[in-house]
Structure 1
């Protein structure tokens, strides 16, 4: 299916109108919460970012939110997912399919052990604090690099809504030099005008458009690169999976962009910023003072310098008509401090900048551990399903396609969650599983307490504990398999039989 620049511009204009209506909300977030994620595309480098901020609580909480999101959802250096047989696979085929999927899962996990992914995820989590994040997962032609994931500021993107509230178009506007553009897409078809500019002045900046659209007829994603200097397509590629991750934390019905904790806390953040500004003004007044002067033609406030050792010429310092200069009463600061503390606590609570006692405490009770797990599971509970759907599953699908294209795996596995599924093993997923298996553990404890040695007549204790271990992310090589359990039963039965035979054979000698 051919796509023209005219058709792309029409779709871009629709997406731009929605982004322009959403821009005031983003501007507030960039001003008060994540000023260092605002793009330099329009302002250039070395822009003052915090000259309108008088309290850093929201900025600090945004970084803590990003770190907490990464630690809870995709911590570095951990096994955060696995590709496993789905729920409809017959029981006698599960082990064979599991052995087939295990090497594929290991190869895919290797992609995410790169430091580039950790960096991109943290920067994306900062944007997600505002509501919408973005990671571009590019393939790499270098043999020593598996892929090149990069985080893109949401401000540089135009998003188009598609069927079923999914993203159907991602339009990226970026400025780069001609030399960088040709190095980024060396196989592109460049017109003569760009080639001449590259020879004469390669550092000339041009506006480059990277448009990724879903073509429903072909069931493929098309990535198209073009620039304002040329109305033809420079580079085009096609893929089964979307090269972009565009997760949204919360989403208002009818909106394409998401809303995050920073937007939820924005009313309190603005009030806190205003209160902090007024407190600084009050402190300045308390230090320097405000003075009233009698208009007697002698004292001129415009010529009176406020500095130590300076003498002012006045008509009088007392008398029946009062002094010429009097200090205005200072404002009260204690009340503003109380208001500021309450506002800071409100911003931190909304942006999830709250923590339990440190993990490194000497002794932790079972109640404290349970409360820690519950807090972890409930912090992102509302957004967890959307994040799995818009981050974990599409990221693994993309990696499978890239690994197959590089020849690292033998087949392009389709993830349908029925025959082949992705099991999320992040700390947040484990916390949710811990809440689910809590009832099972309590039931097993009750059965064992009541039935004692006859508990196997009510519950499959060994099977249940092995299943719980797998759901909590315990490596499979630490869990006894059913085959190993049967072998143990055989050995125990043989040992009991040998003891019984020995006892039966030794009884007559003992009677003599």
Structure 2
């Protein structure tokens, strides 16, 4: 087998090329963050604690980005409730029971119960303190185009088994590979020299880094983490490596292989030929620029109107004039020979001209970013129907972005955690592959549950209509009630341990048939055998 691991020189050349590609597209993201979230803009290195919002006049875009990210944190991946489940995929559900048992070695009910146990353990990891914090920061960057999260096993025995760490958009770059999927990631970061071995116990340090780590006050070390897929490797195709370079010194500090990528970098949408994503903040950038300039000019006009600009008599030549609040313009006379020596200059009194378009701009910005917040209490009365419609519009407006977020964030993150937990033998499974065909991840969060509950509502409403038209006989004729109840249970995410299994249902049918036969004076055993034969015929025909 050909080992496709990069040597150090090739890796450093790839890191330099990735940095050039990243910097070529940094400007539009830097401008967007400058106008909407200046305190988060770290494309340009500045001192810690430096004020960055001095030239940002309009806070509406920043509030909208924060609210939209918080909305995803509370409705898409909520911390205090289960928001996904790992279960049988559509192909497994359609397989006949006997065929499934032969292929997997266990019945469907047992497989579902095992996957439910896996879901409970994996969900407990996501409900810990690390993921909600990191995911919220990821959602903020996702609204600019692409979020980033590092999902790593925790080497500290005092902590949780999995570490979730957000990667700023300004510090990573990812490349697309075959089929439009990301397969190379580059992440630039700094770490204290003495903390390298604490984060990567398997790291190999050169002598210069050992000397730096041994100092009383170790300095910060610039590192580059790289993840790339080795297409010649089948079992563990993703290579995770950390490189260090200072002058002519260079070294590979860490090298690991895993079944899944440690970096999860979901995009909102993308253009052909681009690797980075483009988010709703970039789409709203024209309105954001205009609104920011209108607020700036309005505030400057207010300052001039309140403080005033004055003219003063002066016998010499006029010097340069600077128009600003409390400025004085030197003139020959103020109102003739008997005029005052100091006089306020008239200025337009109407300074609210920008409000004519500012409300419209703000409404467009909120809608594009996804800030469908409730109207203020002082506004006109809204109905419950409007609130429901507002929630549905959020899902509809963000359908494309949420679909990609599910495919590039939820599924890889869940698969990555499963991989880490299986490596530590915490899960009852080994090599669980989430292919969205045999095994799938289903969203059960409030946003996704709304779609499922719509399907539940349609089924129940149809059954009520059948019952109103022709009573129970028509409903039983049109609907297979034995299939309706399990389907509703799946849509409503009812736990499997609260529901009867296929074997339990068969026993209940036999008992009911035997009891009915006994009441009519027939042989209960014959009735039970007839039910068993009918069940076997149905299973064989599936």
Shorter-chain TM range is 0.7 to 0.9
- TM-score, length basis structure 2: 0.82
Classify the secondary structure of the residue corresponding to 1:175.
Answer: strand
Aligned to 2:24: 21
Among candidates 301, 311, 323, match of residue 282 of structure 1: 301
Aligned to 2:524: none
Among candidates 129, 135, 142, match of residue 121 of structure 1: 135
Residues in 2 aligned to 1:291 and 1:368: alpha-carbon distance in whole angstroms = 52
Is residue 165–residue 256 contact of structure 1 (8 Å, CA) maintained in 2? no
Aligned to 2:407: 389
Structure 1: state its 5+ residue gaps: 359-363, 502-512
Distance 1:367 1:200, change over 3 A: closer
Among candidates 422, 425, 432, match of residue 451 of structure 2: 432
C-alpha deviations, 1:432-464, integer Å up to 9, x for none? 223445543443232122121211011124532
Q: What aligned pairs does 1:44-83 form with structure 2 within 5 A after superposition?
A: 44-83=47-86
Distance 1:91 1:102, change over 3 A: farther
Aligned to 1:243: 262
Answer yes or no: is 1:475 the counterpart of 2:505: no
Is residue 76–residue 445 contact of structure 2 (8 Å, CA) maintained in 1? yes
Is residue 149–residue 264 contact of structure 2 (8 Å, CA) maintained in 1? yes
Is residue 466–residue 480 contact of structure 1 (8 Å, CA) maintained in 2? no
Answer yes or no: is 1:412 the counterpart of 2:431: yes
C-alpha deviations, 1:335-370, integer Å up to 9, x for none? 222322222222111112123579xxxxx9985675
Residues in 1 aligned to 2:388 and 2:330: alpha-carbon distance in whole angstroms = 73
Aligned to 1:399: 417
Aligned to 1:226: 243
Q: What aligned pairs does 1:306-385 form with structure 2 within 5 A after superposition?
A: 318-319=335-336, 325-356=343-374, 367=385, 371=389, 374-385=392-403
Residues in 2 aligned to 1:103 and 1:78: alpha-carbon distance in whole angstroms = 16
RMSD, aligned α-carbons: 3.3
Is residue 206–residue 228 contact of structure 1 (8 Å, CA) maintained in 2? no
Is residue 86–residue 115 contact of structure 2 (8 Å, CA) maintained in 1? yes
Is residue 183–residue 229 contact of structure 2 (8 Å, CA) maintained in 1? yes
Is residue 377–residue 431 contact of structure 1 (8 Å, CA) maintained in 2? no
Aligned to 1:135: 149
Displacement of 1:184 in angstroms is 2.2
Answer yes or no: is 1:463 the counterpart of 2:483: yes
Is residue 159–residue 167 contact of structure 1 (8 Å, CA) maintained in 2? yes
Is residue 174–residue 208 contact of structure 1 (8 Å, CA) maintained in 2? yes
